């Protein structure tokens, strides 16, 4: 998407990429916590006494066992914040070192280098380009005319082109000087348990937590299809369920797909649900009845026994223990991506993993 720093100054906007998080729904029922998977608070002995009350000693471990999900979420947020801060600082330092080295080799200042390689290699925006941008975002400009906005539109387009050229030039310098970034993003250990799509020996595994009723999950599907097309031999996908409680049709649809998975037809149902948006259990059954060789009696028995629901419940619990609180949610070899992000977000991590 085009970055609109200028329009952002006019119209505050929130980029929505995921179905609402747990924090937006305080009435959400508490989920069961599997205490065996609780990770102790780093640096704190779980046997440390936290309080003494009515003759009982309550330890840190006792407290942690009851808030495993909150601790997982807080820990992931903290680790990601550290990584993002280091990543940004590292990018700035790499840019500084590359620019200084290149400028020194060419016998000029960094300012002169930027003027020659960035400012000097972009074309000024034309009036037609400015008008096209104005028309694209006209409804966000509070009735301001093109003439009023022309200078700011020109400034934005110029800054955008300058930023793009700087990015491309830095990529050239990184390649020429053989820059290697070894800072590793935080990784989450999540069991890749569920229906799988892609080669079993793929170097990269994308674990998906999704909700069939979430519009952003559906929006992510074309991106995932592009990943499959781009990396047919290097990436496999594993699906786990995370139906949000305020999506009434999501959980029954998830259970139905889990029962279809018993006969190897999960992905067919997955594609049907996201493709048509028809989540009713009857619709799913009608669809499966058209698949040659599919045993509807076994499918019905699975649903009535609760086996499909049990799969969903297990997935939901596992999600909470690794800090998942919205959909879609992805782990690329353990590296978290939250929301319906563009292809490039997946591409950068996948390429880094393949380089590793």
Last residue of a domain, one of 177, 209, 244: 177
What pLDDT shows up at residue 21? 53
Give 54's contacts (C-beta < 8 A, 6+ positions apart): none
- Report the C-alpha gap between 338 and 331 in whole angstroms: 9
Coil/strand/helix, residue 185 = coil
Last residue of a domain, one of 142, 177, 212: 177
Beta bridge partners of 210: 241
Here the CATH number for the domain that contains residue 232 is 3.40.30.10
On whether the CB atoms of residues 330 and 185 are closer than 8 A, the answer is no
Identify the DSSP state of 158: H
Shared-domain flag, residues 309 and 210: yes
DSSP string, 203-237: SEEEEEEE-TT-HHHHHHHHHHHHHHHH-TTTEEE
On whether the CB atoms of residues 110 and 103 are closer than 8 A, the answer is yes
Model pTM greater than 0.75? no
- Closest to 164 in 3D by CA, of 2, 341, 347: 2
- Closest to 268 in 3D by CA, of 245, 301, 290, 243: 290
Shared-domain flag, residues 274 and 341: yes
Count CA within 13 A, CB hemisphere, residue 322: 25
- Digit-by-digit pLDDT tens for the chain (356 residues) are 333 444 444 433 335 687 865 544 433 334 433 333 445 566 789 999 999 999 999 999 999 988 887 887 788 788 889 999 999 999 999 999 999 999 999 999 999 999 999 999 999 999 999 999 999 998 888 889 999 999 999 999 999 999 999 999 999 999 999 998 888 888 988 889 999 999 999 999 999 999 999 999 999 999 999 999 999 999 999 999 999 999 999 999 999 999 999 999 999 999 999 999 999 999 999 999 999 999 999 999 999 999 999 999 999 999 988 889 899 999 999 999 999 999 999 999 999 899 88
What is the residue range of 240's domain?
A: 196-355
Identify the DSSP state of 32: P
């Amino acid at each position: 998407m085009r970055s609109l720093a200028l329009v952002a100054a006019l119209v505050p906007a929130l980029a929505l990429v995921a179905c609402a998080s747990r924090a937006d729904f305080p009435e959400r029922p508490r989920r069961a916590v599997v205490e065996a998977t609780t990770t102790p608070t780093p640096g704190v002995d779980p046997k440390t006494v936290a309080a003494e009350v009515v003759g009982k000693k309550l330890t840190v471990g006792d407290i942690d066992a009851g808030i495993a999900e909150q601790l997982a979420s807080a820990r992931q947020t903290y680790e990601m914040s550290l990584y993002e801060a280091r990543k940004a600082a590292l990018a700035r330092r790499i840019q500084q070192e590359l620019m200084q080295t290149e400028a020194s080799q060419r016998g000029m200042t960094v300012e002169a280098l930027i003027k020659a390689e960035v400012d000097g290699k972009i074309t000024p925006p034309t009036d037609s380009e400015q008008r096209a941008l104005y028309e694209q975002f006209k409804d966000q400009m509070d009735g301001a005319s093109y003439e009023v906005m022309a200078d700011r539109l020109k400034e934005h387009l110029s800054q955008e082109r300058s930023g793009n050229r700087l990015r491309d030039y830095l990529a050239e310098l990184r390649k020429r000087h053989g820059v290697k970034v070894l800072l590793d993003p935080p990784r989450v250990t999540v069991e890749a348990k569920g229906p799988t799509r892609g080669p079993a020996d793929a170097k990269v595994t994308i674990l998906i937590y999704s909700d069939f009723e979430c519009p952003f999950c559906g929006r992510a599907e074309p991106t995932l299809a592009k990943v499959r097309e781009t990396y047919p031999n290097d990436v496999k996908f594993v699906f786990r369920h995370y139906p949000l409680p305020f999506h009434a049709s999501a959980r029954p649809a998830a259970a139905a797909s889990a029962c279809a998975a018993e006969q190897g037809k999960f992905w067919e149902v997955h594609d049907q649900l996201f493709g048509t948006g028809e989540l009713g259990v009857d619709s799913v059954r009608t669809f499966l009845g058209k698949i040659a060789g599919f045993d509807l009696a076994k499918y019905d028995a699975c649903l009535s026994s609760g086996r499909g629901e049990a799969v969903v419940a297990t997935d939901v619990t596992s999600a909470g223990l690794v800090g998942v609180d919205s959909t879609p949610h992805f782990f690329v070899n353990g590296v978290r991506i939250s929301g319906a992000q563009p292809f490039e977000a997946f591409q950068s991590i996948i390429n880094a993993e393949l380089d590793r």
